[in-house]
Amino acid sequence: MNKKENFFIVIITLFTAIFFEQCVISDMIIDRNSDPQIVNSNIALNDKDPEVRKLAIKKSNNQSTISNVAKNDEDPEVRKLAIERSNNQSTISKIALNDEDTEVRKLAIKKSNNQSTISKVALNDEDPEVRKLAIEKSNNQSTISKVASNDKDPEVRKLAIEKSNSMKGHDGHKIGRIKKIDNRNDK
């Protein structure tokens, strides 16, 4: 294949990519026999533009790539999209416990079904809004009682008290009600 033919293929590929909302890494020449999932994975992991990476994540079915992007992408919006697409609870738990971005942790808690992770976040996250989401998802009476008694934020304590008072045991009866836990001066 000569340079003109190669150039022509690259131009057609770029036009097709734009037309069909598929992306191409600018410095990568794609063989027309390439697997689209491999191409999407490469783009999701390596493209410099976060919007391009987001589009590649939308198109990807590769859970390994999606998990990798969810844990490691520099852009919180790209990580959030990857979390939405992820079905890997281990990855979601790690993100809920460790991501630097509050909104990313919130999304991970919403998506998590790991009660151990939810309890850890309810007890330890630095952001009261993230702790509130964890309390809402928690079904662990012990965790909820600890938060109701000890959380530094009065709104989080209040939510934990309300949650505890509404929980029912396995026999359908309400679990012991928590009354006003403390008389701390919340100034």
Q: Can you give the residue ranges of every domain in the chain? A: 1-112, 114-187
d(CA 78, CA 169): 40
What is the per-residue pLDDT for 159?
Answer: 97
What is the per-residue pLDDT for 187?
Answer: 43
Read off the pTM.
0.72
What is the per-residue pLDDT for 163?
Answer: 94
Task: Collect all residues with Cβ–Cβ distance below 8 Å to 119 and sequence separation of at least 6.
Answer: 134, 138, 140, 143
CA R_g for the chain: 23
Q: Is there a contact between 99 and 83 (Cβ–Cβ < 8 Å)?
A: no
Q: Which one is predicted more confidently, 71 or 41?
A: 71
Digit-coded pLDDT (tens) for 14-65: 555 554 444 444 334 344 445 556 666 777 787 899 998 998 889 888 999 9
- Stretch 3-15: mean pLDDT: 56
> By three-state DSSP, how is residue 33 classified?
coil
φ, ψ of residue 166 in degrees (nearest 5): -95, -10
> Which of 19, 51, 50, 23 shows the shortest CA–CA distance to 39?
23
Residue with tokens 């079905």: 87
Q: Is there a contact between 118 and 112 (Cβ–Cβ < 8 Å)?
A: yes
φ, ψ of residue 73 in degrees (nearest 5): -65, 145
Q: Is there a contact between 114 and 122 (Cβ–Cβ < 8 Å)?
A: no
Q: Is there a contact between 84 and 108 (Cβ–Cβ < 8 Å)?
A: no
Digit-coded pLDDT (tens) for 168-185: 554 444 445 554 444 444
What separation in angstroms does the CA of 1 have from each of 24, 28, 49?
21, 17, 30
φ, ψ of residue 168 in degrees (nearest 5): -120, 145
- Stretch 58-84: mean pLDDT: 94
